[in-house]
A = this chain, B = another copy of it.
Amino acid sequence: MVNPASLQRAYAGKRVLITGGLGFIGSTLAIALIRLGAEVTVIDSLIPEYGGNLQNLAGYADLIRVNISDVRDTYGISWLVQDQDILFNLAGQTSHLDSMTDPLVDLDINSRSQLTILEACRHHNPAIRIVFASTRQIYGKPNYLPVDEYHPIVPVDVNGINKLSGEMYHLLYAQVYGMRICALRLTNTYGPRMRVKDSRQTFLGIWIRQLLDNQPITIYGDGSQLRDFNYVDDVVDAFLLAAVTEDSWGQAFNLGDDQPISLVELSNLLIKLNGGGCAHKVDFPPERKAIDIGNYYANFTRFQSLTGWQPCTELEQGLARTLDYYRQHRHHYWDAVAQPMPYADPHPAK
């Protein structure tokens, strides 16, 4: 579906910046870009509660420029966006619960920093192409399924509101200043390099950890909630296509999958692939129930029509690869006490 030769032509030699580039999707995208011949710089704050992990670039660290910094650092961002051809803007606070307990941090990262990034690009690099990682969370509880881009937007948590502002700033800067910017509204993305230490990035992360730790998978509610899932390589293809599709500027597009699955079915599939394990259902904690969105799956035909993109990886195949990855690398994701730092210790023990 995605033509590797045309992507190679589009990206070879291009200077590409990725915010959140040590995170799950950002790092997978960085590696894909290196393979396409791009010059890649990643920005990541390595905040322990977020998705950044140096292990995510293992084997590629020498080929990628890693800049440890926070998107809230306005001056740094103003410098880093200069002379770049493309910005994949993926840095974000992803935890819905954390956005309710610490709403101002969520605002500063998901909303305020987006405005400073856009201002930096407008002033220092207005020709840059930008693809922003938005989220299905902005829709809130679906009125109908599958959810298309015309669905009403009623976020059910602070994270959804701030991600919406972040997306709207991007589309506004395309509209008012003619900048080359589009947004992808991601659904549940999964695969190697996702955060599995806890449920801050996705519930599927903690499920995988629970399974590999021989603990029961925890399902909130009756497990009948439907969700759609995209494998990370498919999402990376979507980002790569979006940045080189001129007709995308100024618009937001759903990603998604047309084969939704219930949480119970998903847990059964994981247990089967793992060759063992169990799940237990617990009542929704009230703070989670208050911001739950019920059933969700996306209509992604607008992006499909424009770019030819569609998810290619079967859920069973993607989950199997994911389990394999964490069986092999678990000590980098939850067993290890601390991450190795990228720089030599300036004060080594003698």
Residues of B within 8 A of A100 (CB): 176
Q: How many copies does the complex hold?
A: 2
A158 within 8 A of B: yes
Interface of A is mostly: helix
Do residues B156 and A161 form an inter-chain contact, with CB atoms below 8 A?
no
Residues of B within 8 A of A116 (CB): 104
Residues of B within 8 A of A176 (CB): 100, 156-157, 290-291
A271 to B238, CA, bound (A): 58
Stretch at the interface among A2-10, A27-35, A107-115, A179-187: A107-115
A155 within 8 A of B: yes
Q: How many residues of A contact B (CB 8 A)?
A: 28
Do residues A172 and B156 form an inter-chain contact, with CB atoms below 8 A?
yes
Residues of B within 8 A of A290 (CB): 175-176
A157 to B161, CA, bound (A): 17
Do residues B153 and A153 form an inter-chain contact, with CB atoms below 8 A?
yes
CB < 8 Å neighbour of A161 from B104, B152, B169: B169
A118 to B172, CA, bound (A): 27
A211 within 8 A of B: no
Which residues 159-199 in A have Cβ within 8 Å of B in the complex? 161-162, 164-165, 168-169, 172, 175-176
Contact flag A175-B156 (CB < 8 Å), given A107-B111, A116-B104, A119-B103: yes
Do residues A172 and B155 form an inter-chain contact, with CB atoms below 8 A?
yes
Which single residue of chain B is at the shortest CB-CB distance from A169?
B161
Q: Could you give 8 example pairs across A and B, Cβ below 8 Å?
A: A103-B115, A103-B169, A104-B112, A104-B119, A112-B112, A155-B172, A156-B175, A165-B165
Top 8 closest A-B pairs, CB basis? A161-B168, A176-B290, A165-B165, A103-B115, A161-B165, A107-B112, A107-B115, A104-B115
Inter-chain pairs besides A108-B112, A161-B168, A161-B169, 7 sampled, C-beta below 8 Å:
A107-B111, A107-B112, A107-B115, A150-B152, A156-B172, A165-B165, A175-B290
